[in-house]
A = this chain, B = another copy of it.
Amino acid sequence: MARGVNKVILVGNLGNDPEVKYTQGGMAITTLSLATTSVRKDKDGQQIEKTEWHRVKLFGKLGEIAGEYLKKGRQVYIEGSIRYDKFTGQDGVEKYFTDIVADEMQMLGGGGEGGGGGGGFRGSDRSSSSAPRQEAPRREAPPAKSNDFGDDFADDDIPF
């Protein structure tokens, strides 16, 4: 059930390796930095390139797969929705973030280093994968008790 449609479709290249973190509950939260470049002509007919860097979040199993298979430079298809967040820093200054929350991911192209061929994945249920597989995430160990989010981190209260 919903009221409205909030859909984003991106095809772009990763500017960096994925960052994988875990909630206290063991759910992966993976962040991608994804570039899409568009070209338009200015009034003089000159081509102007503009690159947008999207911050893409993948949760649960989808985040684990992204952390495992994606690499800097890799081309990827993302389907998801836009989420705007406001976060008040310790200095009292409000900061705004815009994330693309991924529902689906498709690795594109044949490979490169991050490779192994393409394939698609849906983020239909986040909770079914709360136990990260041993072999998956390289960049941060699955949490034992505490983590970056502090002890009071809860699933419905993600501050970034």
Q: How far is the CB of A18 from chain B (nearest CB, A)?
A: 18
A144 within 8 A of B: no
**Cross-chain contact A36 with B5 (CB below 8 angstroms):** yes
**Cross-chain contact B4 with A53 (CB below 8 angstroms):** no
Which bucket holds chain A's interface residue count? 35 or more
Q: How far is the CB of A119 from chain B (nearest CB, A)?
A: 6
Interface of A, secondary structure class, is strand
Q: Which of B6, B39, B47, B110 contacts A38 (CB 8 A)?
A: B6
Bound CA–CA A38/B6 (angstroms): 8
Given the interface pairs A83-B52, A124-B124, the reply to whether A35 lies near B4 with Cβ below 8 Å is yes
With a cutoff of 8 Å between Cβ atoms, the chain B residues found around residue A10 in the complex are: 4-7
A37 within 8 A of B: yes
The interface bits of chain A over 1-43 (1 if a CB of B lies within 8 angstroms of the residue's CB, else 0) are 1111111111111000000000000000000000111110011
Q: Which of B43, B53, B120, B156 contacts A3 (CB 8 A)?
A: B120
Q: Give the 10 A-B residue pairs with the shortest CB-CB distance, closest first.
A: A109-B109, A4-B36, A2-B120, A5-B11, A6-B36, A98-B98, A4-B12, A3-B37, A7-B9, A1-B39
